[in-house]
Amino acid sequence: MPALFVREPFGFGAMKPATAAAAPLRNGVALTDDPDRHLRDKIIAVLFTAPGERVNAPRFGAGLNRATFEGLNPLTVTAIEYRVTEGLRRDVGDEIIVEGIDISTEPAAGELLLVITYRRREDRIARTLRIEL
C-alpha cells in the first residue's frame, strides 16, 4: 500500500470513492497517495498563509495573498521574493531545495507571475510551480 498524506489544506468530508478530479476521502479526512501533490499543497499553504495566521506557528507562511493589493514596483517585487524565499526555506526547507524564484510583472494589467523551481530532497527531480496573481 502506498504512503498516504493528509491533503493541504486540511479538510473533512464524507466517505467518497476516488474520481478523476479528486482523491478519495477516507475516514472523513481528505487523503492523497501522491507525494508530489502533497508537497505542492504544502508549498501553496506556505505561500498563501499570512504570518501570524496560525496560532501555534506565528512565523509560518509568506503572505503572498497580500501581493494582490500591493503596487507592482521593483521594491514590492523584491519584498515578495524575499517573503517567498524565507517562507519556503523556513517552513518546507527540510523537504525541498529551492533552485529559483522568478517573478515577472505586468504593472499596467496588475498581473504578477511567480515561478518556483524546486527539487524534492528525496529524488532531486526538478519541478516547477507557477502561480498567477
Which is more confidently placed, 30 or 66? 66
pTM, to two decimals:
0.75
Q: Please tell me whether residues 69 and 128 are part of one structural domain.
A: yes
Cα–Cα distance list, 67 to 27, 80, 130 (Å): 37, 7, 15
Provide mean pLDDT across the span 56-76.
87
Q: Please tell me whether residues 25 and 69 are part of one structural domain.
A: no
**In angstroms, rounded to a whole number, what is the distance separating the alpha carbons of residues 85 and 24?**
33
Q: Please tell me whether residues 43 and 90 are part of one structural domain.
A: yes
**Residue 48: which domain range?**
36-132
Q: Please tell me whether residues 41 and 52 are part of one structural domain.
A: yes
Whether the per-residue pLDDT at 34 is higher than 90: the answer is no
Q: Please tell me whether residues 83 and 125 are part of one structural domain.
A: yes
Q: What are the cell numbers at 100? A: 529559483
Q: Please tell me whether residues 62 and 88 are part of one structural domain.
A: yes
Q: Enumerate residues 6+ apart whose C-beta is below 8 A from 121.
A: 94, 95, 96, 97
Q: Enumerate residues 6+ apart whose C-beta is below 8 A from 85.
A: 98, 101
Q: Please tell me whether residues 28 and 56 are part of one structural domain.
A: no
Q: How confident is the model at residue 115 (pLDDT cuts 50, 70, 90)?
A: very high
Structurally, how many domains does the chain consist of? 2
Q: Please tell me whether residues 108 and 62 are part of one structural domain.
A: yes
Q: How many CB atoms lie within 10 A of CB 102?
A: 12
Q: Please tell me whether residues 68 and 89 are part of one structural domain.
A: yes
